[in-house]
Structure formats: C-alpha cells, structure tokens
C-alpha cells in the first residue's frame, strides 16, 4: 500500500468530520486484514484509516511474489512511520493494533497521539518479562536463525497453524493461511526478544505519559504467540497511568482472533471501549 494511498485516507478522514480510527496490523498480515473491522467502525460513525507498514504490497499475491520488500523494517522505523501519519489527522484518533501493531499502537499512545487505544494480543515491550514456552516456539521460527534479522521470513502452514490459527478448525486455518498470510520482517522479533537486555531498544513504551489516553488490552485465551502472561504483564506496566487502563480476555480465541470467523466478538469489544471515550 503506497504512502499516497495512506495520505488519501487521512485526507478523507479529515474531510469527513467524523472521529478517526487508525488500524495497525502486525507481522505476517497486510492492511486488508482489517477490511471488515473498517466497515464495522464506518457503520458506527467513524472514519477508518488503514495504513500499511512502509513498502507494504497491496495484495497477498504480490507480497508472496516479492517478499524482499518486507525485510529490514525495525520497530522504531515502523512506529515513526505510523506516528507521522497519525500526526496528520486533525484530531487524535482511536488507534487499534494487533500483535506488533498492538505494540506500535501503545508506542503511539505513549507519544500522546491517541484519543483512545486498543491493543489486541500486543507484542511485548521492554519491562514485559514473561517468556511462555508457546511464545518462544513461535518466535523461534525467526530468531532461531540470526541471518533472519535482515530477511523477510514467511511462515509455513504448520507454523501459522500453531502461532495464529490453533483455535479454529483445520479447514478454517488453511483458508486463513491462503487468504491472509504474507512474509514479515525478521527484525522486530529480534528486537522484542532482546528488549529487556537492551536499554536502548526501540521496543519500548512510555507508559507514564499522562496524555496517553484510555487503553484496553485484549487477550485471546488460547493465543500461543502472545499468551495471557505477556498481555497481562503489559497491562501491569500500563495500569498505573493516570488514564483508564483495562484488560479483557476473549474465551477460546487464538492469535487469529482479528481475522477468523469470530472476529466480530473482538471487534465489538474494541468498538464498545472506543465508544466510551471517543
């Protein structure tokens, strides 16, 4: 998705006069993964903006044909990209992010750019200490090979089934893999894995900023990639902020909770929180 397209979305949101909501995807997905969410929020009176990471292709087919475009995208680079785009909105938006998008959403909120934030199964940041076995197994698909730091790394179906689609049927898992899965930059996973060892890490959040705004963290009960222990540790890091901080667990859901057949329950939970504050 080109920067021109992203800027056009921002112009349209500003022109609409409606409260904007920005959706931020995580690794192994594209902005198109938010299509149903954007329509739900549009129907609820919001102006959705669904930007890509730098150099995101428009389609899954294009992404799998040219995986190299995903390589060498760091947390800091991606966060600055989104914060620059968000800063072009006329009013502070709701920001909704999934996985590494949830980390970017919290970074943006910590910079005072969010009216309200929903972080769904967010990737960990410095200060989030738990390392559950399932999360290590998912990350090892990338960080098990140091050369992947500078590569774009696809998931095999088996890795996607375990890391994303463990809580859906075999057929749905295969459909989700074919419809949504794309390669991803290896660098953010190395950054998250070493965040607590590196005082200068880019995987950090200003949890104390009083301008952060209300925050909801959503956790999928059966998520292997970001289990409850990680999501709840992020909540504990954030809960002393002067703004409202809440956490909700969605029963029976894995990391694919934003894209699978149960997406609407998660989206309604996010929408309800956003409507309380935005």
| Tens of pLDDT, residues 98-112 | 999 999 999 999 999
Q: Could you give the percent of the chain with pLDDT greater than 70? A: 100
Kindly indicate the confidence band of residue 131, based on its pLDDT and cuts at 50, 70 and 90: confident
pLDDT at 1 over 70: no
Burial class (CB in 10 A: 0-12, 13-18, 19+), 258: buried
**CB-based contact 128:227 (threshold 8 Å):** no
Q: pTM, whole model, 2 decimals? A: 0.97
Report how far residue 109's alpha carbon sits from residue 117's, in angstroms, rounded to the nearest whole number: 7
Determine the distance from the C-alpha atom of residue 192 to the mean position of all C-alpha atoms in its chain, rounded to a whole number. 13
Q: Which of 231, 216, 238, 184 is nearest to 56 (CA)?
A: 184
- Mean local confidence (pLDDT), 213-231: 98
Which residues are 245's β-sheet partners? 215
Return mean pLDDT, the chain: 96
Question: What order of strands is seen across the sheet that includes strand 94-98?
Answer: 47-49, 20-24, 94-98, 116-120, 215-220, 245-250
Tokens of 230: 């990680």
Q: What is the pLDDT of residues 13-71, one digit of tens each?
A: 999 999 999 999 999 999 999 999 999 999 999 999 999 999 999 999 999 999 999 99
The 3-state DSSP class for residue 253 equals: coil
Question: Which pLDDT belongs to residue 2?
Answer: 75
Report how far residue 196's alpha carbon sits from residue 204's, in angstroms, rounded to the nearest whole number: 9
Question: Which pLDDT belongs to residue 79?
Answer: 98
Domains observed in the chain: 3-277 (3.40.50.1820)
Q: Give the length of the chain.
A: 278
pLDDT at 193 over 80: yes
**CB-based contact 60:184 (threshold 8 Å):** no
Question: Which pLDDT belongs to residue 3?
Answer: 80
Q: What is the pLDDT of residues 151-174, one digit of tens each?
A: 999 999 999 999 999 999 999 999
- How does 150-181 read in b/e, with b if 16+ C-beta sit within 10 Å? ebbbbbeeebbbbbbbbbbeeeebeebbeebb
Given the structure tokens 């997406």, which residue do they identify? 263
Report how far residue 3's alpha carbon sits from residue 155's, in angstroms, rounded to the nearest whole number: 26
CA atoms within 13 A on the CB side of 65: 6
């Amino acid at each position: 998705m080109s920067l021109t397209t992203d800027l056009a979305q921002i112009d349209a949101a500003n022109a609409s006069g409606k409260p904007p909501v920005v959706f931020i995807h995580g690794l192994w997905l594209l902005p198109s993964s938010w299509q149903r969410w954007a329509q739900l929020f549009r129907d609820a009176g919001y102006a959705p903006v669904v930007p890509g990471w730098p150099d995101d292709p428009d389609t899954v087919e294009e992404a799998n044909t040219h995986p190299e475009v995903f390589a060498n995208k760091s947390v800091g680079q991606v966060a600055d990209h989104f914060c620059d785009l968000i800063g072009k909105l006329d009013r502070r938006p709701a920001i909704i992010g999934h996985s590494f998008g949830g980390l970017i959403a919290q970074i943006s909120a910590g910079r005072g750019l969010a009216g309200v934030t929903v972080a769904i199964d967010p990737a960990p940041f410095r200060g989030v200490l738990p390392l559950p076995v399932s999360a290590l197994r998912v990350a090892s698909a990338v960080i098990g090979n140091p050369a992947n730091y500078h590569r774009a790394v696809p998931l095999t179906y088996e890795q996607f089934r375990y890391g994303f689609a463990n809580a859906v049927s075999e057929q749905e898992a295969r459909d989700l893999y074919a419809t949504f899965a794309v390669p991803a930059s290896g660098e953010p996973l190395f950054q998250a894995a070493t965040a607590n060892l590196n005082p200068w890490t880019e995987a950090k959040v200003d949890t104390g900023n009083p301008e952060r705004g209300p925050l909801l963290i959503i956790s999928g009960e059966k998520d292997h990639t970001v289990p409850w222990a990680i999501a709840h540790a992020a909540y504990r890091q954030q809960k002393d902020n002067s703004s409202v901080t809440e956490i909700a667990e969605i029963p029976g859901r894995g990391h694919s909770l934003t894209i699978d057949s149960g997406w609407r329950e998660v989206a309604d939970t996010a929408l309800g929180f956003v409507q309380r504050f935005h």
